[in-house]
Structure formats: structure tokens, C-alpha cells
Chain A
Amino acid sequence: MNWTGFIFVASIGRWAIELTHGLGRAGLFLGEVFIQFDVLFRRPRLLIQQLYSVGVLTVLIIILSGFFVGMVLGLQGYNTLVGFGAESSLGLAVAKLLTRELGPVLTALLFTGRAGSALTAEIGLMKATEQIAALEMMAVNPVRRIIASRFFAAVLSVPLLTAMFCVVGVFGGHLVGVEMLGVDSGVFWSSMQQGVDLYDDIFGGLIKSLVFGFFIGWIALNQGYFCQPNSAGISRATTATVVTSSLAVFSLNYCLTALMFSA
């Protein structure tokens, strides 16, 4: 075998070892977070602070985006449905699309950009400025004190934000479809009432968003906690959070859709 071929094979081997090592470390990290679960009940203040900075501060971008997405759905849905004389189903179409797919996925992507990257940068900077090492030296478990609350705040925030996204989106669709394009308001709401199923559509979407929140929180905190503690490392980790989380959201969304809605 020639020399370049050898290097190529060796680089695959090293990549595989690094990947396995990274996955194992991330798994142990997640396990440690769950072991420290009780801190949420002993010190609820930590969780509430993080719910504010991770969740509440993301509400504005979620509401604005949800409204515009709903308006687009109302417009495009109307244009498509009116060709079949089916514009009476506009409310149903908007609501189903939002609760099943667009709400969870777009909320998760927005959450990644707004809160996930911030979590990675925050934890990474705490590591770079030796704050995490200082916690260790003060006999304070950093996973318990700063990671667990952030992780569970992400898991709880994403479903709540998704619910807001969907509700606002429906009103956006209503504004365009009913107020501007003249679909009957009663028909808009009643088609939604008849067609949207509590379990299939709404719970299905919420389960999706729970899974997304879980993975975004895990990826973001893991990236921050194990980043190279310098400016280049933090920048790489923040990018990796957004890229990995986005890809995870899209691929998981397909898997969950296939699992829940294929029957």
C-alpha cells in the first residue's frame, strides 16, 4: 500500500476513534445530568432563572416568526385550495401543518439559534475563564450547579414555545385567510375544530418538541462543556451546536413523523 493510502486509512481510524470517544463522553455527561436531577426540587430557583434566560427571552422571536409563518400558510394555502373550491378547509390545513410539522421544527431551529448557541458560548466562556475549575475547587459539582438547570430548562421551554408558535401561527393564518382573502370566519374555525385531533396532532407535535428540546439542550451544553477553552474553540463549539442541532432536528423530525403519523 502506498503512503497516501496509508494516511487515508489512518485518518478514517482516527476519525472513528474520536467520534466514539465523543459520543461516549456525551453519553456519560447526559447520565451525570440525570443523576443530578434532584437539584431541580432542592433548588428550584436555579431552574426558574434558566427558564427565564432560555425560555422567556426567546418568546419574542418565536411569536414574530410564528405570526409570519402563519400568514404565509394562509396565503399559499388559500391560493392552492381555492383552485379546488376547498378554501373552507383553510383553517384545518393551517392548523395541521403548524401543530404536526412547522411548529415543532421551526421553533426548535429558532431555539437553537437564539438559546442553544448562547448556552454553548456561556458554558464555554465559563470554562475558558476557569470558572468551572473554580467551582470544582470549591467542592461544587459544576454539572449539578450550572448544567442540570440549563438542560431541563431547555427541555421544558421548547414545547411551551412550540405551543405559542402554533397559536400565533393560527392567528396569522386567520388574519390573511379570513380578514384579507375573505374565507368565512366560522368555517375557518369549525373546520379546524372538526379536523384537528388532540392526541394525533397536538400531543404528537408536543412529543416532537420535547424530543427536540432534549437534543438541543444536550448538544449545546455538551459542546460548551467540552470545548477547547479559547476563543477559537468557543467559536467552533458554537458553530457545531447550531449545525449539529439543526441536522438532529431535521432527521429526528422525519423519524418521528414516520413513527407517529404513518398509520
Chain B
Amino acid sequence: MPSAGSIEFDGELVKPADKKKLYCQRRKMGMLFQSSALLTDLSVFENVAFPVREHTDLPEDIIRLIVLIKLEMVGLRGAANLMPSELSGGMARRVALARAIALDPDLVMYDEPFTGLDPISMGVIVKLIRELNDALNLTSIVVTHDIAEGCSIADYIYIVGNRNLIGHGTVEQLADSNDPLVKQFMAGLPDGPVAYHYPASPFENELSRS
């Protein structure tokens, strides 16, 4: 729920209180969780099939096709029969990504998609997010702490810090920015407008007390 203003999706207001409409809107959204959030009692195939089964009455052979296409997109068609506990972190995230796009959404939201992955898996995910965005004509929102990877695929960036919007723009605009806070963020500097030290009384007071 926004603390101020309103949220619009596909030209319509998003109202958390109106559950029915919210669920309708969510059918056109996908979300990738940081923890992947796969259903642990279902196989990879059934996880990807889950939203399709819940929201459509398609016959089994069509569902099978849809699921295999989505798994092929993330390169895991061969893993269809594995259980989530048998997957590595990177594979689990790719399965979750296949599940997020199973119903061909208009919008996919990524919660920290690069966190906790080995370099190879991370490269795969970075490439996938960009490719899926272009191939499926999606809007992708990526929330990340990883400036370098984020910049490598983003069209437009918003920087949030200190509970505020610090800056926004394309990668080039932000790189050329003169705002010290934006500079600190983009370069990942330890000290700057966001201080290294947590606010405290001067150290002299602490020393003179003893």
C-alpha cells in the first residue's frame, strides 16, 4: 500500500482492498522472489505448470507444451522432473523465472535477482532478464544492490536511499551526475553524504568519561 500517491497498472488503479480486482491484475504480473519461493512439494515441471493450472482450463497436452517452452527459455527443459531440493540456487531462480513468465505477463518484478549467486549463474540471470524483456515485450522492474549488473541491462534507473528517491535517469545520465549522493552510490564509496559512521556523540566525550 503506498504511503502517498497511487499505483497504476495497465491504465487502472491498483487498490489493495479490492481483492478480486487485485487478483485479476496480478494475473498479468509475474514476480521473481529472492528466495525463488518454489513450492517444495511439487516438481520443477509442476511448479511452472502451477499458475497455468490454477488460472486456465487448458488440456494437459497444451499445458505440457507451455511448460516445456518456458523451461526451454531458461535452459532447464532437461530438469523438468527434478524436485526443488535437487536444484542449485541459480537453477532454482531460473525455474522461478520460468514460473513467473508462465502466463505471459505484461510486467515482471525481480526482487534482488543477482543476490547469492555464483558468477556463472549470475551471468545467466543477467542475460535472461534482458533477453526475456525484449523477446516477450515485457516491462521489467529489477530491485537490486548490484550497481554494475543492474547498469549493464537497465534502460532507466531509480536510486532509492535514505528513505527517499535520490536520483533517476539512464545509465549515462547517472554516470555523469554531479550530485554527490548519486556519485557515492554509483561508485560504491564507503564515505560521503551517506556517512561511514553511525551517528554518535563525539569520541572525545567517550574518552574523557573514563
Q: Which residues of B contact A137 (CB under 8 A)?
A: 26, 29-31
Of B24, B40, B51, which is within 8 A of A138 by CB? B51
Contact with B along A121-154 (1 / 0, CB 8 A): 0000000011101101111110001000000000
A30 to B54, CA, bound (A): 23
A139 near B27: Cβ-Cβ < 8 Å: yes
- Contact A129-B54, Cβ < 8 Å, known A137-B29, A139-B27: no
The CA-CA distance from A112 to B144 in the complex, in Å, is 43
Q: Is the CB of A145 within 8 A of B33?
A: no
CA distance A139 to B100 in the complex (A): 12
A260 to chain B, nearest CB (A): 40
The interface residues of chain A lying within 8 Å CB-to-CB of B26 are 136-139
- The count of residues in chain B whose C-beta lies closer than 8 Å to any C-beta of chain A is 20
Interchain CA distance A145-B39 in the complex, whole Å: 12
Residue of B nearest to A122 (CB): B41
Compute how far the CA of A141 lies from the CA of B24 in the bound complex, rounded to whole angstroms.
Answer: 12
Docked complex Cα distance between A129 and B50 (Å): 17
| Chain B contacts with A in 1-54, Cβ cutoff 8 A | 19, 23-24, 26-27, 29-31, 33-35, 37-40, 50-51, 54
Contact A131-B24, Cβ < 8 Å, known A138-B51, A139-B55, A140-B54:
no
Binary CB contact string for chain A from 103 to 129 against chain B (1 if under 8 A, 0 otherwise): 000000000000000000000000001
Tell whether, in the assembled complex, residue B55 and residue A130 are in contact, meaning their CB atoms are under 8 Å apart. Answer: no
Taking a contact as CB atoms under 8 Å apart, the answer to whether B23 and A134 are in contact is no
User: Among the listed B24, B33, B54, which residue makes an inter-chain contact with A130, where contact means beta carbons less than 8 Å apart?
Assistant: B33
Measured between beta carbons, the chain A residues less than 8 angstroms from B24 are: 139
7 interchain pairs, CB-CB under 8 A = A130-B35, A131-B38, A133-B33, A138-B26, A139-B23, A139-B55, A145-B54
**Interface, chain A (partner B; CB < 8 A):** 129-131, 133-134, 136-141, 145
Name the 6 nearest CB pairs between A and B, nearest first: A134-B37, A139-B26, A130-B37, A139-B23, A137-B31, A138-B51
